[in-house]
Structure 1
Amino acid sequence: MKENLRQSLSEAEGKARSSSLQQEVDLSEVTQQETKANQQGYGIYKLKQKNKALFCQAIQENLDIVIQSKHLTNSELGLLLSLMPLVQFHSNAIINRETNEFMSISEIARYLNRERTATSKTVSRLLAKGMLFEFVNAQEIKVHKRSVSQRPLFMNPEIIYAGDRNRINATLARLVMEFDILERKKVYLAWKLWLKNGHEFGRLYRRKTYLQFKRHE
């Protein structure tokens, strides 16, 4: 019985190897076609499997400027960097990754194992300094003189961004451009966010290019 099983496995392995060989690409043929394609200005390349590891990137030159300018205290900088694992891909919102819901100050405090009042004060300072942004309901403020519902928080994509820096969420881009606190406080970043008229996404540009856009807006 064991011998029959071994034979069956051997036959199955042989069939699998044969099938695999049939599916393999003739690389010599690809090389020939690539030469022809190159002569016509085209290229052939091997597709790579996408890495599914979640990531959130700091815009190094900008973060360096923020640190060197002493725009943030150590406490504020520490909390800001601690929020990086919570930044949602593309939207840059601070979310609970398990529920995909916006996080309240209380939830952020629990996540960071910090006291809520202290966390709230630090978040407020980060908002005032342009490190974080929030969407508020204008109608609520008009009626109640303050926000009474949860206010979604967003990381400033000029400092920290989860996604393609050339395809930044348009709504977020407009928010940052309209309330550019860093620029008003004379914290002049090396890379600035700009959304061109009619474009679907914003992107980061060198400061020189950004200033040209500003002059012609």
Structure 2
Amino acid sequence: MKNSKNNIVNLEGKLAEAEKNARLRDLEIEREKSKNDFHGVDQKEIDQAIQTVSKAAGGKEVYFGIKKSPKSKVKFVQINQPNLGYLMEKEYFKSEEMKFLFRIMPYIAFRSNCIVDDINIKNAIPVTQVELAKKIGSSQPTVNRLVKQLIDKGIIAKAETGREGVSARSYALFLNPNIIYSGDRDDVNETLQMIFKKVNLKSVFKNLPHKIC
């Protein structure tokens, strides 16, 4: 009977030891994985660094991020999903207006949100509605009509611009950044904000779930 009890105790001890060793192996695997993820730096060192920075920031929560490579030149247009969803629920857009907005996205200049001839040029030239019609493969009357509709709805704004080589008055078309924006949403172009200042006071825009300007 005594031997039986000893055997049970020994078995429990071996199981506990095996479980402990398994946990240690799991921890070691996790540490190695962490080192691989963070280029050889141990997770403890990272945690200590975060604690130090948090202490220096007055106890506030901090996080580390990797700075974007300056070589990244890919152009993006951001769609404000909550705002677009809200307007769609209100049936604010016609299907042809939505299609038109999608087709002009490749021509929205970074930060100015102006529709231009070439987004890859630093001082890109705003397109006329005639030029825009050619670019998207549509007729001028159709583009004129859709632009007017979207101006009336506050999605597009038309502003006078001094275009080089053109003596007559010329205009540039801008997109409302609360719906579509090419740029940093936390740093919206001040001129663009002024262009849509009155527009964004309209009742439908006052109730947008996520206004950025």
TM class, shorter-length: 0.5 to 0.7
Which residue in 1 is equivalent to 2:132? 108
Taking structure 1 as reference, are residues 68 and 187 closer, same or farther at Cα in structure 2, changes over 3 Å only?
farther
Alignment of 1:168 onto 2:193: no
The one-letter code of the counterpart of 1:85 is: P
> How many Å separate the matches in 2 of 1:38 and 1:163?
30
5+ residue gaps in structure 1?
1-24, 138-147, 195-217
Which residue in 2 is equivalent to 1:12? none
Select the structure that is richer in strand: 1
Deviations 1:63-112 (A, max 9, x none): 11111111111111110121111111111111111651101101110011
The one-letter code of the counterpart of 2:86 is: I
> How many Å separate the matches in 2 of 1:36 and 1:126?
51
Taking structure 1 as reference, are residues 40 and 102 closer, same or farther at Cα in structure 2, changes over 3 Å only?
same
> How many Å separate the matches in 2 of 1:186 and 1:27?
48
Q: How does 1:16-165 map to 2 (within 5 A)?
A: 31=45, 34=49, 37-38=52-53, 40-41=55-56, 47-50=67-70, 51-97=72-118, 100-136=124-160, 149-165=169-185
Taking structure 1 as reference, are residues 78 and 46 closer, same or farther at Cα in structure 2, changes over 3 Å only?
closer
The one-letter code of the counterpart of 1:190 is: P
Identity of paired residues, percent? 24
The one-letter code of the counterpart of 1:112 is: I
Conserved in 1, the CA contact under 8 Å of 2:110 and 2:183?
yes
Deviations 1:47-76 (A, max 9, x none): 442432110010001011111111111111
> How many Å separate the matches in 2 of 1:87 and 1:60?
18
> How many Å separate the matches in 2 of 1:83 and 1:192?
22
> How many Å separate the matches in 1 of 2:177 and 2:210?
10
5+ residue gaps in structure 2?
1-38, 162-167
Taking structure 1 as reference, are residues 167 and 68 closer, same or farther at Cα in structure 2, changes over 3 Å only?
same
TM-score, reference length from structure 2: 0.63
1:193, distance to aligned residue in structure 2 (A): 3.5
> How many Å separate the matches in 1 of 2:138 and 2:212?
32
1:179, distance to aligned residue in structure 2 (A): 2.6
Taking structure 1 as reference, are residues 126 and 36 closer, same or farther at Cα in structure 2, changes over 3 Å only?
closer
Taking structure 1 as reference, are residues 149 and 74 closer, same or farther at Cα in structure 2, changes over 3 Å only?
same
Which residue in 1 is equivalent to 2:28? none
Paired residue secondary structure (2:174): strand
- Name segments (4+ residues, structure 1) moved above 3 Å: 25-28, 31-48, 184-187
> How many Å separate the matches in 1 of 2:182 and 2:211?
16
Instruction: Give the RMSD, CA atoms, in angstroms.
Output: 2.9
The one-letter code of the counterpart of 1:78 is: K
The one-letter code of the counterpart of 1:41 is: A
1:186, distance to aligned residue in structure 2 (A): 6.7
Paired residue secondary structure (1:165): coil
Taking structure 1 as reference, are residues 186 and 56 closer, same or farther at Cα in structure 2, changes over 3 Å only?
closer
